[in-house]
């Protein structure tokens, strides 16, 4: 982990991180920067080692879906039955509006092992690296580690192709797309709020 940071001139005691996950590509991407830097650099990416559900957001307990949207790490579980796990704040404010009101689901993690019913598993050895990075960022005062989960890399052509197959997600995916594009263009995080309809809005 330290050698990876050094290669990008990132100081361990200045580390901030950001996660992006792409369901179609089954990749978890780790971006990093020094606190004083404006933009993130790509540090490393990890392949999912298992997958459940289909493309599209998580909307109810038991649907086996990996969520799609804007999240952050809200808990560290060193005693996970999947070796180590980092919990996401699912359901977030958008999910609470758009998902099943009584049973939207819960307990979504990035974790070790290779089993999943809606989480992101990346094997034990890889979760150890991610855990170390997250602990370092937390120790440096990063109280929220952002995690953006997209159905796929949201280029215009990818969106067009996937909407031919899954047109029911057009409104939701077109709402996510500006968040993806903002980071692709600027390599920094947008400020986002959730509207009363459940949509995300870049401020």
Q: What is the pLDDT of residues 138-182, one digit of tens each?
A: 999 999 999 999 999 999 999 999 999 999 999 999 999 999 999
Instruction: Quote the CA–CA distance of 124 and 130 in Å, as a whole number.
Output: 10
* Three-state SS at 172: helix
Phi/psi-derived region of residue 187, left when phi > 0, alpha when psi is between -120 and 50, beta in every other case: left
- The pLDDT, as a whole number, for residue 175 is 98
Q: In this prediction, what percent of the chain has a pLDDT beyond 90? A: 99
Which residues share a beta bridge with 33? 16
User: Residues 120, 22: contact at Cβ < 8 Å?
Assistant: no
User: Residues 174, 163: contact at Cβ < 8 Å?
Assistant: no
- The pLDDT, as a whole number, for residue 122 is 98
- The pLDDT, as a whole number, for residue 62 is 94
Segment 59-88 shows an average pLDDT of: 96
Residue 63 burial (CB count, 10 A): 19
- The pLDDT, as a whole number, for residue 151 is 98
Binning pLDDT at 50, 70 and 90, where does residue 129 land? very high
């Amino acid at each position: 982990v330290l050698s990876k940071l050094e290669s990008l001139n990132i100081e361990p005691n200045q580390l901030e991180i950001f996660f992006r996950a792409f369901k179609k590509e089954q990749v978890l991407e780790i971006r990093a920067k020094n606190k004083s830097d404006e933009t993130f650099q790509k540090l490393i990416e990890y392949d999912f080692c298992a997958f459940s559900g289909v493309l599209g957001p998580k909307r109810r307990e038991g649907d086996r879906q990996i969520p799609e949207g804007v999240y952050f790490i809200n808990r560290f579980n060193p005693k996970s039955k999947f070796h180590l796990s980092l919990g996401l704040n699912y359901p977030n404010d958008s999910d609470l509006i758009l998902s099943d009101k009584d049973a939207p689901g819960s307990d979504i993690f990035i974790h070790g092992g290779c089993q999943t019913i809606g989480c992101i598993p990346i094997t034990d050895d890889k979760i150890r690296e991610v855990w170390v990075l997250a602990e370092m960022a937390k120790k440096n005062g990063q109280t929220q580690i952002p995690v953006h989960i997209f159905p796929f890399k949201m280029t215009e052509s990818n969106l067009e192709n996937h909407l031919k197959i899954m047109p029911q997600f057009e409104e939701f995916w077109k709402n996510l797309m500006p968040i993806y594009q903002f980071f692709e263009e600027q390599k920094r995080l947008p400020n986002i709020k959730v509207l009363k309809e459940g949509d995300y809005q870049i401020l």
